[in-house]
Amino acid sequence: MNGDNSHESRGSILSAVSDWLKLLALIVLAAESILGVAYLSTDRTDPARKYYFPLAIGFLALIVAGLFLERALSTRRSQAHATHEGLPRQFFLVTRWYFRSGITEEELNLTVVGHRVTGTRKTKHPKGKETTYDVTGWYHTSTFWLEYHHQTDIFGGGSILLDQFTNDRLSGMLLSKDCDTGIMQCRSNMWFPSNLKKNHRQEYFQFIGKVNPTELSASAS
């Protein structure tokens, strides 16, 4: 996530320089116009009149140089953005799930190339058992749409929706299905960069609700 911030900072600096160059070009253009009016309205015998034309040429050269520089900055900014979009970006996120059986630790290791996401989701249960899932999905701006699937059990998995809440945490929801009962459950939580793991608090975890297909079928009939 730090790579995104540094890229945005460089882009902001280049944009600011480009804006200042455009403002400078307008100021020089205004000075060029004033100089032209002064040249036409000044008496030909005025000794300062001979400096007007060289100054006008100098201002014109400055405008042209500024336009070329602004174009170069715009090209560089576009190339930097295109290069950044093509480079892999790493996201190491952690969270905790507070169940009656104890606290389950989670590590979410994501690699983003363009908008495509791959990675792993690892959970460590209170008794020490670790489970690893393969993660695939889509990333755009500050939002992840993810699916995770057990590496050996084809029925194990779910989906996660993550959105960047602040620079140092993401809010999200996890939807999973109990393969034995068919019950689908939805929970919300906060995910942090791994170095900020200690900032997670129990109140971030919330149980939203569940859907039992058998109960729905009974009520429908």
Give per-residue pLDDT as tens, 190-203.
999 999 989 999 99
User: Which of 152-161, 179-188, 202-211 has maximum average pLDDT?
Assistant: 202-211
Min mean pLDDT across 48-52, 135-139, 150-154, 191-195 is at 48-52
Residue 170 to residue 192: CA distance in whole angstroms: 6
Task: Give the pLDDT mean for 53-69.
Answer: 68
For residue 110, count other CB atoms closer than 10 A to its CB.
20
- 41, 34 contact by CB (below 8 A): no
Task: Give the pLDDT mean for 127-142.
Answer: 92
pLDDT at site 1: 53
Q: Which amino acid is at 113?
A: V
- 146, 170 contact by CB (below 8 A): no
Task: Give the pLDDT mean for 106-130.
Answer: 94
Please state whether the predicted TM-score (pTM) of the whole model is above 0.75.
no
pLDDT at site 182: 79
Residue 160's nearest CA partner among 126, 132, 190 is 190
Q: Which residues of 74-109 are buried (b: 16+ CB within 10 A; e: fewer)?
A: eeebeeeeeebeeeebebebbbbbbeeeeebbbbbb
pLDDT at site 87: 74
pLDDT at site 172: 96
Burial of 189 (0-12, 13-18, 19+ CB in 10 A): buried
Please give the mean pLDDT across all residues of the chain. Answer: 79
- 135, 122 contact by CB (below 8 A): no
Give per-residue pLDDT as tens, 8-45.
455 556 566 666 666 666 776 676 677 666 666 766 66
pLDDT at site 2: 44
**Higher-scoring residue by pLDDT: 126, 94:** 94
Phi, psi of 198 (to 5 degrees): -65, -15
